[in-house]
């Protein structure tokens, strides 16, 4: 075994670049582009500029997104074929009732869970089923014609039967499922709500614990206005209440959940139901929210199937998560039979949220709010002897992060909270919201790293070593010095030092963090690249990339370090050489790593494996994904792989079009959010970047790797030359104050239009078209 020397590039500090940049123009290094200030008449400025955004009207958006919609001409028979609706809490999948001439609308809710932690997350604090509606026609169903409109977040279409036609529309908003059905011919719409037993969906794979007591049966009642309620009491305290009513062609349904109150859910479900009033009233609020939502960013590229998939993932994550709501379980809000009816913290939850940043939707970040709101629980999760200064979380938990974590030295999986905090760090870096740093990242990360510090011990080599911990999902005895944990310790200590400086905190632990960075044992490496840890090579197929976190997503070992490029390549190649246990996220992870290396063609080749129907676990017809049960993170991570091809911003440098496949000659990116709180717009035509526009939301230092060749022009929105400095390697430092925009291009000023690109790779719609 050999060890790889560590390199730790320092993140950028808060500073104003202008004082150190000199004039507007800089002399270029040989063979590199350089910034050149435009020549202006004496006493005048250059021409102001403005992007010509063609995506500003409802008509433009409706037309573009219509081409991305999911379609059905056959009745879906399983959940992963059907339409799906959600509002971050309530969720519904629509498909044929198994073995019956009916259509099922599932009714599930992200807050509905059991409250008996003594039985663990699989049984005691798991997500619990609520029930489902069935639409029961008179005649036999012969055909459907459905469209899931992304623009309106609404299912519309017809059901044709031997008796006539049912025309339906459905949406979810403000925790209310609303369906409108009209009948023609001899058809009529009959609805039935079917409560489901409040028992863990894990029952499909194992029996309950021996001392487990079932939850009591539900009860029903009907109010004077015809509203029907199903009340589900829970043995561990609390209640789930489902209320629904029919008025004319409309059916409205709401779910409430309360704990420890045994009655509050009743009032919540009725209040939400009465506030909805009617389908039309709810739809008006619903479409207003979604139409404003989509306008925050735009991307278009020429592969129709993947472009549609990408926009569906944005719809999906907004249907599954909203800040302040429940953190996404592994199945999202759409609960089906599964061995994983909880939140998984050793890869799943992290991958679920990455795409929200580039898409410019911080309002979807329920992970950051979950960690902020449950800090006391994170303390309670560590053994009592360490609660004075430590926090952690075990592999899986409920929505309140309730799961104990084991001790290093026992083979426990200990790094999951630190990895989840990397997601919150990304939220901070993309927003520069100091409250996230001060109130969540710094205090919780400080305690998470403290837990490690209790167990680091010096070895005879003078290095600090970690006793046995688990590399998540690797099927051997946990080794010492697991790369998963070493990478997280390094990232955590450096981030704490940077955060203390940013917050102006003189922390007594700073010398200890510095000591750990100086003395922590190097990552274990052999001829095949990064090992699992200690004396444990990567010798069995490993679906997670736990042992490669220092490469992605932490970027501690990265492509900007030439001495590490061979090590990175060997590690990825060897990881995928043993592919027997690989799953969808194994391919999306490799795609992002090759995008980091600037190899877009290899990146897309790995990403396409996720969509290959001949693979063992491909993407499903409605873009969801299933192994032994629903697993929401993999399709969402595939969208992040696309983001990594379009724009990256790690290490304090924004990289525009760093890993675009050569087949995608045209690409439009607009208001893509990056670290440093910048909004990037860029257009690529005929394989050449035509312009880059960057807007600063926070006044952070801007370093732009632009990919342009020739003499650069960098001009602010009012026509004045930007203050720039060529850093070499195609990277330009630009002084960009908060609220200002800079345009970077070569040659004469290009067409500044933001518009969809033409499709060069046609593909069928998702769904069952």
Say if residue 17's pLDDT is above 50: no
Q: What is residue 20's predicted lDDT score, i.e. its pLDDT?
A: 28
| pLDDT at residue number 46 | 79
> What mean pLDDT is predicted for residues 55-78?
98
Mean pLDDT computed over 358-385: 98
359-368: pLDDT as tens digits? 999 999 999 9
Query: What is the structure's pLDDT at 38?
Result: 36
Band (pLDDT 50/70/90 cuts) for residue 4 is very low
Q: What percent of the chain has pLDDT over 70?
A: 94
Would you place residue 41 in the very low, low, confident or very high pLDDT band (cuts 50, 70, 90)? very low
Averaged pLDDT for residues 65-94: 98
- Does 455 have pLDDT greater than 70? yes
Three-state SS across 100-117?
Answer: CCCEEEEEEECCCECCCH
What residues does 672 pair with on adjacent strands? 680
Helix axes 633-646, 600-611, angle to 10 degrees: 160
- Rg of the chain's alpha carbons, rounded to an integer? 27
Per-residue confidence band for 224, with pLDDT thresholds at 50, 70 and 90: confident
Q: Which residues contact 416 (CB under 8 A, 6 or more apart)?
A: 345, 346, 392, 393, 394, 395, 405, 472
Which stretch of DSSP H or E encloses residue 526?
strand 523-526
Please count the other Cβ atoms lying within 10 Å of the Cβ belonging to residue 718.
12
365: closest CA among 333, 314, 418, 321?
Answer: 321
Please tell me the predicted confidence (pLDDT) of residue 33. 40
Answer whether residue 72 shows pLDDT above 60: yes
pLDDT digits (tens, 9 = 90+) for 596-648: 999 999 999 999 999 999 998 999 999 999 999 999 999 999 999 999 999 99
What distance in Å separates the CA atoms of residue 347 and residue 543, rounded to the nearest whole number?
11
When mean pLDDT is compared across 48-57, 98-107, 467-476, the lowest value belongs to 467-476
d(CA 415, CA 345): 9
Pairing assessment for the beta strands 731-734 and 678-685 based on DSSP bridges? unpaired
pLDDT over 90 percentage in the chain: 93
Count Cβ atoms below 10 Å from residue 504 Cβ, excluding itself. Answer: 6
Domains defined for the chain, CATH in brackets: 14-37+49-56+664-754 (2.60.40), 71-294 (2.70.98.50)
Closest CA to 408 of 480, 476, 468: 468
Q: Is the dihedral of CA 336, 345, 307, 285 positive or negative?
A: positive
443, pLDDT greater than 60: yes
pLDDT (average), residues 455-477? 95
Q: Is the pLDDT of residue 29 over 80?
A: no
Residue 3 has pLDDT above 50, yes or no: no
Instruction: State the Cα–Cα distance between residues 528 and 753, nearest whole angstrom.
Output: 47
DSSP string, 686-746: TTEEEEEEEEESS---EEEE----SEEEEEETTSPBPPEEEEETTEEEE---TT-EEEEEE
Per-residue pLDDT for 18 more than 70? no
Which pLDDT score is estimated for 26?
30
User: For residue 70, what are the β-bridge partners?
Assistant: 148
Is residue 2 very low, low, confident or very high in pLDDT (cuts 50, 70, 90)? very low
pLDDT of residue 45: 55
- The pTM for the full model equals 0.94
How confident is residue 476, by pLDDT bands cut at 50, 70 and 90?
A: confident
Q: Check residue 289 and give its pLDDT.
A: 98
> What DSSP assignment string belongs to 495-518?
HHHHHHHHHT---TTHHHHHHHHH
For residue 317, is pLDDT > 90?
A: yes
Residue 163 above 60 pLDDT? yes
Mean pLDDT rounded to a whole number for the chain: 93
What would the pLDDT profile of 245-256 be if each residue is shown by its tens digit? 999 999 999 999
Q: What is the DSSP string of 192-238?
A: EEEE---S-GGGGTSPPPTT--PPPPPEEEE-TTS-EEEEEE-TTS-
pLDDT value, residue 475: 84
Distance between CA 718 and CA 559 in Å, rounded?
A: 36
Structure tokens at 606: 């790995």
pLDDT of residue 477: 83
Residue 24 has pLDDT above 60, yes or no: no
Per residue in 170-180, pLDDT (tens digit) is 999 999 999 99
294 preceded by a cis bond (ω within 30 of 0): no
- Rounded to whole angstroms, the Cα distance separating 176 from 83 reads 17
- Residue 233, strand partner residues: 239
């Amino acid at each position: 075994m050999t060890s790889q020397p560590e390199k730790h590039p320092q993140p950028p500090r808060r500073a104003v670049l202008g004082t150190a940049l000199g004039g507007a123009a800089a002399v270029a290094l040989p063979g590199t582009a350089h910034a050149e200030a435009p020549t202006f008449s004496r006493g005048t400025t250059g021409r102001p500029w403005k992007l010509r955004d063609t995506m500003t009207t409802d008509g433009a958006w409706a037309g573009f997104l219509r081409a991305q919609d999911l379609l059905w001409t056959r009745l879906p028979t399983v959940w992963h074929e059907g339409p799906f609706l959600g509002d971050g809490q309530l969720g519904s999948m629509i498909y044929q009732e198994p073995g019956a001439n009916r259509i099922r609308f599932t009714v599930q809710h992200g807050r509905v869970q059991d409250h008996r932690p003594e039985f663990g997350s699989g049984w005691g604090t798991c997500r619990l089923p609520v029930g489902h509606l069935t639409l029961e026609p008179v005649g036999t169903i012969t055909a459907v014609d459905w469209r899931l409109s992304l623009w309106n977040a609404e299912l519309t279409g017809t059901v044709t039967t031997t008796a006539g036609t049912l025309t339906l529309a459905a949406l979810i908003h403000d925790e209310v499922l609303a369906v409108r059905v009209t009948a023609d011919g001899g058809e009529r719409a009959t609805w039935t709500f079917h409560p489901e037993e409040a028992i863990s969906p894990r029952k499909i794979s194992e029996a309950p614990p021996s001392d487990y007591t079932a939850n009591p049966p539900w009860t029903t009642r009907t109010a004077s206005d015809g509203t029907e309620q199903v009340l589900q009491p829970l043995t561990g305290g609390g209640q789930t209440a489902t209320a629904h009513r029919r008025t004319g062609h409309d059916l409205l349904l709401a779910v409430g959940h309360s704990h420890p109150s045994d009655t509050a859910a009743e009032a919540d479900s009725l209040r939400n139901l009465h506030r909805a009033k009617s389908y039309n009233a709810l739809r008006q609020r619903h479409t207003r929210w979604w139409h404003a939502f989509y306008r925050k960013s735009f991307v278009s590229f020429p592969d129709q199937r993947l472009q549609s998939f990408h926009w569906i993932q944005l719809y999906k994550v907004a249907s599954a998560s909203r800040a302040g709501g429940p953190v996404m379980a592994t199945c999202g809000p759409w609960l089906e039979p599964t061995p994983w009816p909880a939140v998984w913290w050793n890869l799943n939850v992290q991958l679920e949220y990455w795409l929200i940043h580039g898409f410019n939707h911080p309002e979807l970040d329920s992970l950051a709010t979950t960690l902020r709101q449950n800090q006391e629980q994170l303390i309670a999760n560590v053994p009592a002897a360490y609660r004075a200064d430590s926090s952690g979380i075990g592999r899986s938990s409920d929505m309140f992060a309730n799961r104990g974590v084991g001790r290093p030295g026992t083979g426990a999986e200990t790094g999951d909270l630190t990895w989840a905090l990397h997601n919150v760090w990304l939220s901070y870096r993309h927003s520069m919201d100091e409250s996230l740093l001060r109130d969540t990242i710094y205090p919780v990360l400080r305690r998470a790293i403290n837990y490690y510090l209790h167990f680091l011990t010096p070895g005879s080599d003078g290095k600090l070593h970690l006793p046995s911990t688990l590399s998540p999902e690797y099927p051997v005895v946990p080794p010492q010095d697991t790369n998963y944990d070493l990478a997280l310790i390094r990232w955590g200590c450096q981030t704490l030092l940077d955060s203390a400086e940013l917050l102006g905190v003189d922390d007594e632990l700073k010398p200890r963090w510095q000591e750990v960075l100086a003395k922590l044992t190097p990552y274990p490496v052999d001829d095949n690249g990064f090992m699992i840890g200690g004396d444990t090579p990567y010798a069995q197929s490993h679906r997670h990339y736990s042992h490669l976190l220092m490469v992605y997503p932490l970027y501690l070992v990265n492509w900007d370090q030439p001495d590490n490029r061979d090590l990175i390549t060997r590690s990825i190649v060897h990881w995928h050489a043993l592919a027997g246990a690989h799953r969808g996220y194994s391919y999306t992870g490799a795609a992002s790593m090759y995008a980091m290396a600037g190899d877009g063609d290899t990146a897309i080749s790995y990403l396409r494996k996720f969509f290959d129907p001949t693979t063992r676990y491909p993407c499903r017809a409605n873009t969801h994904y299933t192994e032994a049960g629903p697993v929401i993170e993999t399709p969402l991570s595939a969208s992040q792989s696309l983001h990594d091809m379009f724009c990256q911003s790690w290490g304090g440098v924004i990289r525009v079009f760093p890993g675009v496949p050569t087949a995608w000659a045209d690409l439009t990116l607009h208001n893509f959010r990056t670290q440093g709180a910048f909004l990037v717009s860029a257009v690529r035509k005929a394989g050449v970047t035509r312009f880059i526009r960057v807007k600063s939301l926070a006044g952070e230092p801007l370093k732009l790797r632009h990919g342009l060749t020739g003499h650069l022009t960098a001009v602010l929105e009012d026509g004045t030359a930007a203050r720039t400095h060529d850093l070499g390697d195609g990277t330009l430092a630009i002084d960009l104050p908060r609220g200002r925009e800079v345009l970077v291009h070569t040659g004469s000023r290009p067409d500044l239009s933001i518009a969809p690109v033409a499709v060069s790779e046609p593909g069928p719609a998702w769904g069952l078209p």
